[in-house]
Amino acid sequence: RPPPGAAGDLAALAELDEAALLGGLRERFLRQLVYTGVGDILIAMNPFQPLPLYGKEVAERYRHHQTGMLPPHIFAVASRAYHAMLGRRGGGPQNQCIVI
């Protein structure tokens, strides 16, 4: 069983309060997992070191992945928004907004 906060989506925790959120973020940061999901929100933490997060092979993995099949990543957010904008997620094209 993974330690508390190790989940990629903190919204799945039984209790989501400030302590659980900060503890989960800390645990993931220590494991060099700088992206964490909280429902539809992606939290990105500065790793203060170079990590192999943005190469071509990483981008290709996230291009057509299903939500929840890969760890949280900015490429997943971009892919979901792009495909929803084109109407590929069902229900026709939808306007998208990403706040950074």
- The three state secondary structure string of the chain is CCCCCCCCEHHHCCCCCHHHHHHHHHHHHHCCCCEEEECCEEEECCCCCCCCCCCHHHHHHHHCCCCCCCCCCHHHHHHHHHHHHHCCCCCCCCCCCCCC
Total of domains in the chain: 1
Is the pTM of the predicted complex or chain greater than 0.95?
Answer: no
Structure tokens at 46: 């500065």
Q: What is the pLDDT of residue 100?
A: 83
Give the domain range for residue 18.
10-86
CA distance 65 to 61: 7
Residue 98 falls inside a structural domain: no
Q: What is the pLDDT of residue 64?
A: 72
Q: What is the pLDDT of residue 7?
A: 57
Residue 60 falls inside a structural domain: yes
Residue 17 falls inside a structural domain: yes
Q: What is the pLDDT of residue 9?
A: 87
Residue 92 falls inside a structural domain: no
Residue 64 falls inside a structural domain: yes
Residue 99 falls inside a structural domain: no
Q: What is the pLDDT of residue 2?
A: 47
Residue 96 falls inside a structural domain: no
Instruction: Look up tokens 């993995």; give the residue.
Output: 61
For the chain, residues with pLDDT lower than 50 are 1-2, 4-5
